[in-house]
Structure 1
Amino acid sequence: MSSFEQQPGSLQRLLPTDPSTIAGYRLLGRLGAGGMGVVYLGRTDTGELAAVKVTHSDQAEDPDFRARFRREVETARQVSSPWAVPVTAADPDAPEPWLATAFVPGPSLAEAIAAHGPLPTRSARLLGSAIARALAAVHTAGLVHRDVKPGNVLLAVDGPRLIDFGIARTTGDTALTATDVVVGTPGFLAPEQAEARGAEIGPPSDVFALGCLLVYTVTGRLPFGAGAVDALLYRTVHDDPDLSGIEDDLATLLGACLAKDPRQRPTAGQLAERLVEDAPLGADWLPADVIRTIAERSARMLALPDIEETRAPTAQAAPDRRKLLLGAAAVVLAAGGGWGVWAALGGGEDGNKAGPSPRKRQHVIGVQADLTGPQQAMGIEQERGARLAVEAYNTREDKPFPLQLEVVDDAGNTAEAATVGRRLAEDRDVLAVLGSTGDYTTQAALPAFNEASTALMTVSAGLNLLTRGTPPNPAIIRTCPSHPIASSQLAYLLQSYFLQGKVTDPVPGLLQDREDDSYAWQYITMINHTMRTLYGYRCHPRVVPAGIDAYEPIIKGMLAAGIDAFVHGGLLPSAVHCARALADAGFEGPRVGGPYLLTPEFIRQAGKAAEGWVVAAPVLDPLVHSPAKRFTAAYRKRYGTAPRYYAGESYDAVSMMIDEVVRAARGSTRPEPSAVLTALRKKTFDGVMGTYQFDAAGDLKNPRTQLYVVEGGRFNRVMAAPAKDPGKG
């Protein structure tokens, strides 16, 4: 039940509609919520903490759901391992079925790698051995986990823990033999799972997934790459894994785990022994920065507010929960966590001084942007648009409270994006955040915002997996089209051109520059698919390796194939090479590029070869968009220059946030970020750059890609790309 994931770093206050107790558990706060129900942090009379999963009443009325919930309880209870989080209590037959598991305050492996980067080989071996032993216990019980992934491994000072048996099955379960049903997380699926070969799915499938997980643990990348799900599944079935950068003996072992034939993989028990012959997991099994994160999570649990008693106290008082978690903190200190960790746990410099008094709560809108990196021009515009929105609000006489703007620079770097994103997400005063500028910085920061239930609204990141990944990302809201949507609208544009020109047998040329493989793949694959399946065209795709400069032979080959139009999917340098090569060859057909070309640098570097190019981007020009006239004037007054692309959309995004922050506060001192997030996803907003409304995944409804043509050395907007197949009216 992926929508029940434990989220220890994002404890939220109980809502007025939440119960104060469930069975023998006093509820301290919310750990997470999803379509299936709510996960609470609970405490027993003896002081033990637990993650208590409670289903929504409407789910409980579904007999099939109740049966699945009962199966999860039964499945998890069959597994006995120190490395698997145990079920401590459950009632599948309650009016609202619930189960409780031991609470682990540490981050997931996915969060740790996003925040701190890949783990050292020694840590990865120790982690892999422990999880392999947990899987051996799963398999001994006659079960298959089927969803081994970084999000289902929690990190503690004494070792990792495997969680979530929601889709586990017995090896003889008929559900395993179902065809055409892919269950699990792409990127961590075995070939037999990717192809839904149900009869072949068994314990070796979990070993394959663990191999993928360990590759990710030591490299920060998946062995079969990233990108759209269908491409990822195809590579899993047909391609060799990428094991570069991994120590030779470990790479050999992981290669055996990733064998296409399940019979050639080691068992979980064999894998555990080959990873580490004897696996003592001391407090130093993880790097110091990850241990520090675990300590900080424990510190937040120590800082929980007391709860009011709703029944008479027993003769024996429950232990102080501080004592329950100080054991973990002491281990951290022994491992060299130092004064900084002790301070985080509430002690002073000498261990006795009181910490600083709590500061007054504030209302803050966050901005995470690339202000000094490769996309700094775009990031600066986004920060300026956000600042104008906050300043406009603060001039209102009827404002219920002032707002502050907290701006962080991730420099277009994914590791920095994860770090500064977590800082914003964990700041108790930040109510919603605009960011990030790029695809991969947004992806790196997003786990922290998911965990904190804080809205992360992007106006420029089009990566499909941000909103369509598995599991879903509940915190993301996107005001621009995804790359596949934008490229499908480009395909409609080309079809309109061919229809108007009465081209009977067109051959679109499609160039995919692998310098940014995921973006280019999504762009070109969608256009290729649309052209072939909807219109039956003979597309001529060409995939170009990253880092090459000799584009003339490539362009000559595409022209020799008789292409009638040229579509570039990639970054600025290759687009400049292509523009020059096409101009030298005298090609006058449509030349189209994506959003990375909407920059003066394309015109400057390509020179006259840029003339006539059409650039598709998810943004309007505020200088020619009449509803943005007042915004443009305010921008000029504030910054002494005209606004550029993305400033207006950023102004609208932050104005939306402010609208819901004020509404959610309803006269109180501070609304909950989760309430702002929920309201934003359901919101319809008329801004200076357009109307915004979002679907269940957080994507903009009815998105439109804008088209600009280079004329006279500048970009001129010509139209919005068709939003539907022009051949169908």
Structure 2
Amino acid sequence: MDRSLRPGDPSFVGGHRLLVRLGEGGMGVVYLGRTDSGALAAVKVIRAEYALDDDFRTRFRREADAARRVDCPWVVRVTGADPDAARPWLATVFEPGPSLAEAVGRHGPLPVRAVRVLGKALARALAAVHGAGLVHRDVKPGNILLVADGPRLIDFGIARSLDATALTATGLVVGTPGFLAPEQAAGDGDRVGPACDVFSLGCVLAYAATGRPPFGGGPVDALLYRTVHDEPDLDGLAQQDEELAAVLRRCLAKDPAERPAPDELDAALVEDVPSGTVDWLPAAVVRMVADRSAETLSLPEIGATIIEGPVRDRGPSRRGFLAVASGGAAVLALGGGAAAWAALHDGTARHTSAGPGWAIGVQADLSGPGKAAGRAQEQGARIAVEEFNARRGRPFTLHLTTSDDEGRAERAAAAARRLVDDPDVLAVIGSSTDATTQAALPVYDAALLPVLGMSAGQNLVQNVRSFVRGRPLHNVVAMSLGYQLETTGAAAPVGVLLDRSGGDLSWMTIQMVNLVVRQYGDATHPRVVPAGTGDLTPVLTEMRSAGIKAFVYAGPLDGAIRAARGLADFTGPKYAAEPALDARFAAEPAAAGWTVVASAIGPGAAGVRSFAQSFRTRYGRAPGFWAAEGYDAAKLLIGQLGQLVATNGKRPARKALIGPLRKATYHGITRDFAFDQKSAGQPVLTTSASFVHQVMDGEFHYLGPAPDRAPQPRTA
């Protein structure tokens, strides 16, 4: 990665001459700086948009003051800060070493003795942090550096003062999934305290000892669920050191009151802590430490940099050519320069007017495996824009700008950046898949560009301000599937097949269906197939031999087609999760009679018929699934823009739309839109309508809304 300074980066910050970029996150840029005395420092400069937020400055000031009180050799020392600067900054001692995540990722688990040494040092670090009135909240392998004289705990970026008024709302999940305490994973802000850091440290030490997080990996929702409900995976550690395993189990207790305090943990980890050496680390990691230390001796020459004035919303600039992608709680730079210029001008971003204007962006899969859904959303939104532009006396003229992410998470951040760098774009609809939405959100959030998602139903669990989800979560739709099954009186036992190829959505579907069916006293016959399973015949044969009377499949589209073929002569009710809502599934002869419950409404719904006729007139065919949702999304955004113009009499800034969007109410053709503000960082749609579709004659027929509450218990 090119770490050199860029035009627009400052030359000096708070007495530090800046040398190179160390990284970029959602809150700002971290530089390597040198003071007049020659001391090196990591200087975090906060993004300009946060500097305009008085509440943020208040929080930043409290945390900087508290962090200065931390005095411990195992905690990176804060050397300076200025919360009142035009762009607030904070400096810490620069520690040239690899992170624990890098060391374990490259060389595998640490020896047991090294884990004990690491644990004692970090327990003392937490004791100092808590003694200063702070809770770190994000103790993870990436925030622990291994340097020449021992480990260092870094990054107080999301800590908060215990003795100050809490500025973080209850229900907000802050930190890194996989290393969060259960009370953090559950969004229980009232219970977040020092014991959370101890739990996170237990996760870190388990990771260091085994090479894997104690609650596994995978989709965020599943990871948080396991953190709250499952026991940690310490397989192999007990055989090496049962005493250490027992200490970690105490750290990983679900009840915060059962976890040891840091000083108690320090005493329990019986081991001498070498002073000022790396002898406790394996040789391969020691070489990594030495290599990082040597890199500081070959710093680049200090060249002049250009200090730009205030950045105006005036389109693509060299500052703007930075694509970012999500990685846990961090945001890392991926590229810039010529590559970003090429991405910006590859034809995926289109304009219909010259000069500054008003635009709604659509990010979607327009050319990949999910292009039918992505194009449908774009086309529905385009009809809404064209209807608005046809109105007499309209206060402004809109155009639609698209950015194709091809349904690929690795392309999503660049696709988002294209829309962020377009000064016309005031709001975005998208992206059309869970993975691409999650990868794109850090880009939009850093730019405070509002995003309305209509088809991504995963709980993204991020502290994002600019995102509003205009559809129910996958687990809500899955619950409606269970209610539909019970309402129609399907006989038990119900066979439920979880295909892990479908990821988080499949897992949530089976969990909720299993829960609903069993609540009604009916039996289920659950089965799981590994990701990539091509032949479902053996498991389907076994399920049928067990006497199932109904069947639910949760997995990807191709798996649903295979399940339909394998159950072609099964006469009981057959259901599939939302990925099967695709013309390719309906076209499969064996899929006749299958039912799909999904968030997308059907074109046959009474409220959608007028739109469907407009769509046929515009495109010469019936609308596909998600077109009506794209239409509603554009209409909702247009309405909020119109209200801002009516109030202020001028073109609004992007961030001015975020608050009104989160509080918006709108009577759409697919559902009524209103949002609950008490969710974990993201407003939740309160009108959680889902819809039932059944395959007949090679296509889906709309049956109506799915039940959104439990049916009355059946009587004997």
Q: TM-score, normalised by structure 1?
A: 0.65
Tell whether the 8 Å contact from 1:88 to 1:100 is kept in structure 2 after alignment: yes
Separation (CA, whole Å) in 1 of partners of 2:611 and 2:340: 48
Match of 1:38 in 2: 55
Residues 1:542 and 2:533 aligned together: no
Task: Please name the residue that 1:74 is paired with.
Answer: 66
SS in 2 for 1:628: helix
Q: Is residue 364 of structure 1 aligned with residue 359 of structure 2?
A: yes
Q: What letter is aligned with 1:512?
A: L
1:452/1:589 CA distance change after superposition, 3 Å: same
| Separation of aligned partners in 2, 1:419 and 1:211 | 35
Structure 2 equivalent of residue 228 of structure 1: 222
1:238 to 225, 228, 232: 232
Matches within 5 A, 1:418-429: 418-429=413-424
SS of match in other structure, 1:141: helix
Whichever residue aligns with residue 163 of structure 1, its letter is: F
Structure 2 residue 666 is the aligned partner of structure 1 residue 675: no
Secondary structure of the residue aligned to 1:655 is: helix
Retained in 1: the 8 A contact 2:138–2:197?
no
Report the Cα distance in structure 2 between the residues aligned to 1:360 and 1:674, rounded to whole angstroms.
21
Task: Give, in angstroms, the shift of residue 571 of structure 1.
Answer: 0.9
* Compared CA separation, residues 123 and 563, structure 1 to 2 (3 A): closer
3-state SS of paired residue (1:671): coil
State the Cα distance separating 1:663 from its structure 2 match. Answer: 2.0
1:626 Cα deviation after fit: 3.1
Matches within 5 A, 1:295-314: 302-304=308-310
- Which aligned pairs between 1:463-612 and structure 2 lie closer than 5 A? 463=458, 465-466=459-460, 469=461, 471-498=462-489, 506-532=492-518, 534-584=519-569, 587-604=570-587, 606-607=588-589, 609-612=590-593
Change (3 A) 1:229 1:208: closer
Q: CA deviation at 1:141?
A: 2.6
Q: Which moved more, 1:522-531 or 1:666-675?
A: 666-675
Please give the residue correspondences for 1:133-172 in structure 2 after superposition, counting only pairs within 5 Å: 138-139=125-126, 141=128, 143=130, 145-148=136-139, 162-164=155-157, 166=159
User: How many Å separate the matches in 2 of 1:222 and 1:581?
Assistant: 32
Deviation at 1:401, TM superposition (A): 2.2
Residue 88 in 1 paired to residue 87 in 2?
A: no
Change (3 A) 1:281 1:147: farther
The one-character-per-residue Cα deviations of 1:29-49 (angstroms, maximum 9, x if unpaired) are: 541799xx732xxxxxxxxxx
Distance in 2, matches of 1:378 and 1:31, equals: 36
CA distance in 2, matches of 1:403, 1:389: 10
Matches within 5 A, 1:273-284: 274=285, 276-278=288-290, 279-280=292-293, 282=295
Q: Higher mean Cα deviation, 702-711 or 190-199?
A: 190-199
Partner of 2:58: 53
Report the AA paired with residue 616 of structure 2.
Answer: R
Matching of residues 160-559 of structure 1 within 5 Å: 162-164=155-157, 166=159, 185-189=176-180, 205-206=200-201, 208-209=203-204, 223=217, 226-228=220-222, 230-233=224-227, 237-239=231-233, 274=285, 276-278=288-290, 279-280=292-293, 282=295, 302-304=308-310, 360-463=355-458, 465-466=459-460, 469=461, 471-498=462-489, 506-532=492-518, 534-559=519-544
2:613 and 2:364 map into 1 onto residues whose CA distance is: 24
Instruction: After TM superposition, give the deviation of residue 538 of structure 1 in Å.
Output: 2.2
Q: Give, in whole Å, the separation in 1 of the partners of 2:298 and 2:522.
A: 57
Which deviates more from structure 2 when the two are superposed, residues 140-149 or residues 706-715? 140-149
Displacement of 1:6 in angstroms is: 6.8
The number of equivalent residue pairs is 559
Give the secondary structure class of the aligned counterpart of 1:417: helix
Q: Deviations over 1:564-602 (max 9, x none)?
A: 211111112221222122224xx2111011121111211
| Paired residue type of 2:473 | S
Any idea what the Cα deviations from partners look like across 1:596-641, whole Å, max 9, x if unmatched?
111121133x31x21111111112222x233333322322222222
> SS in structure 2 opposite 1:568?
strand
Counterpart contact for 1:454–1:673, Cα < 8 Å: yes
Q: Structure 1 regions of 5+ residues with no counterpart?
A: 10-26, 40-51, 56-68, 92-98, 105-117, 126-130, 171-180, 243-254, 289-294, 307-336, 344-358
* TM-score normalised by the chain length of structure 2: 0.66
Question: 1:484 Cα deviation (Å)?
Answer: 0.5
SS in 2 for 1:540: strand
| Cα shift readout 1:675-726 (whole Å, capped 9, x = no counterpart) | 2121111111122333222222322212121111112222111121111011
Distance of aligned partners of 1:166 and 1:485 in 2 relative to their CA distance in 1, 3 Å threshold: same
* Residue 565 to residue 558, structure 1, CA distance change in 2 (3 Å): same
Cα distance in 2 for residues equivalent to 1:214 and 1:663 = 57
Equivalent AA in structure 2 for residue 529 of structure 1:
L
Change (3 A) 1:708 1:192: closer
Matched residue SS, 1:162: coil
Pair 1:591–1:635, CA change in 2 (3 A): same
Report the RMSD for the aligned CA atoms in angstroms. Answer: 5.1
Deviations 1:362-391 (A, max 9, x none): 222110000111100111111111112222
More deviation, 514-523/393-402: 393-402
Alignment CA distance shift 1:341-1:557 (3 Å): closer
What SS does structure 1 have at the residue aligned with 2:403?
A: strand
Aligned pairs for 1:623-702 (under 5 A) are 624-666=604-646, 668-696=649-677, 697-702=682-687
Letter in 2 for 1:303: G
Q: Relative to structure 1, is the Cα distance of residues 152 and 688 closer, same or farther in structure 2, using a 3 angstrom cutoff?
A: farther
Task: Structure 2 unaligned segments of length 5 or more: list them.
Answer: 1-24, 30-45, 93-101, 110-117, 146-151, 164-171, 237-243, 252-267, 313-334, 342-353
Counterpart of 1:626, as a letter, is A
Q: Sequence identity, in percent?
A: 32
Is this contact kept in 2: 1:595–1:616, CA < 8 A?
A: yes
Aligned-pair distance for 1:414?
0.2
Provide the C-alpha distance between the structure 2 equivalents of 1:575 and 1:708, rounded to a whole number of angstroms: 15
Choose 261-270 or 610-619, whichever is displaced more: 261-270
Task: Give me the whole-angstrom Cα distance separating, in 1, the residues matched to 2:692 and 2:336.
Answer: 56
With over 3 angstroms needed to count, the CA separation of the structure-2 counterparts of 1:394 and 1:213, relative to structure 1, is farther
Shift in CA distance, 86/625, structure 1 to aligned 2, threshold 3 Å? farther
- Counterpart pick for 1:727 among 709, 712, 716: 712
* AA matched with 2:227: L
Could you tell me how far 1:138 is from its partner in structure 2? 3.5
Q: Shift in Å at residue 132 of structure 1?
A: 11
Look up the SS of the partner of 1:518 in the other structure.
helix
Query: Relative to structure 1, is the Cα distance of residues 6 and 627 closer, same or farther in structure 2, using a 3 angstrom cutoff?
Result: closer
Q: Distance in 2 between matches of 1:582 and 1:612?
A: 11
SS in structure 2 of the partner of residue 474 of structure 1: coil
